[in-house]
Amino acid sequence: MCGIIGVFNQADEKRVDKDILLQMLGLIRHRGPDGFGIYQDERVSLGSTRLSIIDISGGDQPISNEDGSVWIVFNGEIFNYIELRPSLEAKGHRFTTNSDTEVIVHLFEEYGAGCLKYLNGQFAFAIWDTQRQSLFLARDRLGIRPLFYTEKNGQLIFGSEIKTILAYPGVQPEIDLHSLDQIFTYWSTLSPRTIFRDIFEIPPGHYLMMRGGEKNIQSYWSLDFSPGKTSPRSVQEYQDELEALLIDATRIRLRADVPVGAYLSGGLDSSTTTAIIRNFTDTPLDTFSISFSDPEFDESPFQRQMAEFLGTQHQVVYITHEDIGDLFPHVIWHTEIPILRTAPAPLYRLSELVRDNHYKVVVTGEGADEFLAGYDIYKEAMIRRFWARRPQSSLRPMLFNRLYPEISHMPNSQAYLASFFGAGLLDTQARDYSHQIRWRATSRAKRFFSSRVSDHLNRVDGAAADEIIYPPGFDDWDALSQAQYLESTIFLPQYLLSSQGDRVAMAHSVEGRFPFLDYRVVEFCAALPPALRLNGLVEKYLLRRIARKWLPDEIWQRRKRPYRAPIHRSFVRADGSTPDYIEDLLSPASLKAAGLFNPEAVQQLLMKLKSGKRVGETDDMALAGIISGQLVWRLFVVDFQRHAPPPIRYEELRRDCSPQSVVAGGQHAV
Amino acid sequence: MTIEAQIKEYIAKNLLFSSDGFKYSDDASFLEEGIVDSQGVMELVLFVEENFNIQVNDPEIIPDNFDSVSKLAAYVRRKSGAS
């Protein structure tokens, strides 16, 4: 796992100043502290920070093909590189390393952009073909690894994190108000937007090909829930097939020349992947998890139970409200985007624990909730549709009690449930039917926008929901699949795998690996009959049938509990005190200077929190969004230079390559 | 200040965080307009209990009493008159 950067000259042929590349690399040293390298010619500059996991001695980057005409910098893992290699060797490709990186180079030589369909992995890479004079940037199917770019003065500048781009001369960060509006609707921007104007990401499952001044962005894979792609089988056959796939997906994710650990949340998904490692491999296993001082959020009894059951060496990081408040600015430096949650903060601390235990790789359970239908939002949509068939029924909406116990504790909850979930009830043909309630509730937090922001949005933009691009055939999919598609293309890559995934893990040089996100597993799940994903109101039905063989009853039968972290109590403590930075960050002067949020409204919110009054979900989301929005402005727009870590020193470079460095592998040492 | 005005001021300040007051009509549905969430209803209950010195009984916490300024004001009047 690593970080990459690069610059492509669309017009000029002028070498980029090496000091700039060293500065860009310094900003992502955390992604790959084990080795640095660059490649430069008149047209292109590439840079890499490497976290060595596979072929520790030989895998330094950049790497080229046999004659030095194709160069790559690569972030991620290709898990099937061992299977891919023989056929490339049979075609005459000569390998000089044992790395997965080199496999991509030769595959690209052989198939061009078509190489992507052979790769099973999590990746973002840049390939420079000196003969065709083409630059190829690609990202994995589901968006596990990040890749951002911008165009400025005839140059394409790219990097694993936005901060590398901000370090490039002439790039001026500006908060994109439309993106802010998206975050306060969907909990994230929609790809390819970032919070910064004119800085974009390569969308998941896409590549960008650049030749001369011509830029071409193409999709090479997309999530497809079309029915009838597989012949019907018995439930047992489906179950056996999924089980075999999951075991293989986990097995190839243990390929590494360093020990692999696992996150254990106490839920079904990470317990399943951990059990597979235990039952089907010889890997000795350390597990890691988060416990909270706040009992409302703590799951540690289940984690301990699983660790004991599986006999793993288990370590726990203990998180208090104060920790979350204090860590938040560091977390936002890594997320590079406002967030309406604090859940990434404990994960930031967890990756630190993992690193301090000398682990670089952890297997986790992400993806099962998306593709095997674990989330409440799927059930909520199902109940709404069930109720919409008999809108007069007073019994049907009572099913919401099963989903949202906090509401069911309200007196007369049924009257209110009907009101909350009844909005737009009969609009069942709407493509975003499943997500309307959530997006509408989140949008309430926009009442804190400054008049500058609201005026701009009213003037320039229409309804945010109109921007979602639906794939062909979407209208013919079943309702569950439609909901899963939205969740898996918005929340998963744009928040869960980034702010709560890659960024907080890589902050401490830790790589997550996700068996449920193996594309074979994803494609299999998308083709399952919907009732094997969500069965009545039993979520992850097929997975439960598999997991019961390996897990204690209390774990496989447990109802899904979302991973959350406390918000308002992390920023305004019981005694009314706040973390040091809050006072200044949320002062009327700072709020006015940033121009994003209404100072009076924010003061009202703080007063309400300090008074100890009841705090709702909207207040929580707004508070996290305001603080993180202000932090993004402060860290990246106002004070970037002050927060930027020092550049890589030239002496730290293991490779400084140029077109003359014609021999691949190990030969370019500075 | 009328009961309606007090309710509007409270909502503007504590739920809408708006400095320019409550800009909806007195009959606008709190839920349909997205003015309150589930937590907001409980906040309103606390507010009328404390501010108007009435006791809100569980069966009374229903949209018919709590879903607009006029409904809530009417409820408060009924309760105050009755107590």
- Per residue in A405-454, pLDDT (tens digit) is 766 667 777 777 777 888 889 999 999 999 999 999 999 999 999 999 99
Contact A540, A268 (CB under 8 A): yes
Q: Which CATH architecture has domain A235-372+484-556?
A: 3-Layer(aba) Sandwich (3.40)
Catalytic annotation present for A2: yes
Task: Looking at the complex, report in whole angstroms how far the Cα of residue B3 sits from the nearest Cα belonging to chain A.
Answer: 21
Burial class of A296 by CB neighbour count within 10 A (0 to 12, 13 to 18, 19+): exposed
Task: Report which DSSP code applies to A318.
Answer: E
> CB distance A412–B67 less than 8 Å?
no
Is A588 in CB contact (< 8 Å) with chain B? no
> CB distance B17–A441 less than 8 Å?
no
Tell me the C-alpha distance between A248 and A242, whole Å. 10
Q: Which of A443, A605, A617 sits opposite B39 (nearest CB)?
A: A617
Residue B70: CB atoms within 10 Å: 15
Tell me the C-alpha distance between A185 and A619, whole Å. 14
pLDDT at B83: 47
Class of domain A2-221: alpha beta
- Cα distances (angstroms) measured from residue A207 to each of A70, A140, A250, A438: 17, 9, 26, 31
Average pLDDT value over all residues in chain A: 93
Tell me the C-alpha distance between B72 and B44, whole Å. 9
Domains of chain B: total: 1
Tell me the C-alpha distance between A87 and A531, whole Å. 40
Confidence of residue A666 (pLDDT cuts 50, 70, 90): very low
DSSP A523-588: HHHHTS-HHHHSBTTBTTHHHHHHHTTTS-HHHHTPPP-------HHHHS-TTS---HHHHHHTSH
Tell me the C-alpha distance between A275 and A363, whole Å. 11
What are the residues whose beta carbons fall under 8 Å from the beta carbon of B44, sequence distance 6 or more? B11, B30, B36, B66, B72
Predicted ipTM of the assembly: 0.72
What six digits make up the tokens of A628?
């993180």
Q: From A613, which residue of chain B is nearest by alpha-carbon distance?
A: B43
Q: Write down the residue that tokens 């009841």 correspond to.
A: A614
Domain ranges in chain A are: 2-221, 235-372+484-556
Question: A46-50, A459-463, A470-474, A643-647: which has the minimum mean pLDDT?
Answer: A459-463
> CB distance A614–B61 less than 8 Å?
no
Tell me the C-alpha distance between A404 and B29, whole Å. 22
Confidence of residue A572 (pLDDT cuts 50, 70, 90): very high
Q: Which amino acid is at A569?
A: R
Edge-first strand order for the sheet with A155-159 is A200-201, A148-152, A155-159, A2-9, A44-50, A35-40, A653-657
Domain with residue B60: its CATH number is 1.10.1200.10
> CB distance B18–A447 less than 8 Å?
yes
Give the residue-averaged pLDDT of A121-132.
97
Question: A301-315, A404-418, B48-62: which has the minimum mean pLDDT?
Answer: A404-418
Confidence of residue A670 (pLDDT cuts 50, 70, 90): very low
Q: pLDDT digits over A488-528, tens only?
A: 999 999 999 999 999 999 999 999 999 999 999 999 999 99
> CB distance A616–B40 less than 8 Å?
yes
> CB distance B17–A614 less than 8 Å?
no
Contact A58, A666 (CB under 8 A): yes
pLDDT at A408: 66
pLDDT at A669: 41
Task: Looking at the complex, report in whole angstroms how far the Cα of residue B32 sits from the nearest Cα belonging to chain A.
Answer: 7
Q: From A450, which residue of chain B is nearest by alpha-carbon distance?
A: B18
Residues of A in contact with B38 (CB under 8 A): 406-407, 410, 416, 420, 616-617
Question: A26-40, A556-570, A621-635: which has the minimum mean pLDDT?
Answer: A556-570
Q: Measuring CA to CA, which residue among A588, A611, A601, A181 is closest to residue B15?
A: A601
> CB distance A614–B16 less than 8 Å?
no
Q: What is the 3-state secondary structure (H, E, C) of A443-467?
A: HHHHHHECHHHHHHHHHHCCCHHHH
pLDDT at A668: 45
What six digits make up the tokens of A113?
């952009």
Whether A662 shows a pLDDT value over 60: the answer reads: no
Q: pLDDT digits over A344-389, tens only?
A: 999 999 999 999 999 999 999 999 999 999 999 999 999 999 999 9
Q: Which of A412, A440, A601 sits opposite B59 (nearest CB)?
A: A412
Host domain of residue B43:
3-82
Task: Looking at the complex, report in whole angstroms how far the Cα of residue A443 sits from the nearest Cα belonging to chain B.
Answer: 9
From the list A2, A115, A525, A657, the catalytic residue is A2
Q: How far is CA A307 from the centre of its chain?
A: 26
Task: Looking at the complex, report in whole angstroms how far the Cα of residue B19 sits from the nearest Cα belonging to chain A.
Answer: 7
Q: Which of B14, B31, B59 sits opposite A420 (nearest CB)?
A: B31
pLDDT at A520: 98
What are the residues whose beta carbons fall under 8 Å from the beta carbon of B68, sequence distance 6 or more? B26, B27, B28, B29, B30
Q: Which of B16, B39, B59 sits opposite A411 (nearest CB)?
A: B59
The sign of the torsion formed by the CA atoms of B57, B63, B64, B68 equals positive
Tell me the C-alpha distance between A104 and A108, whole Å. 6
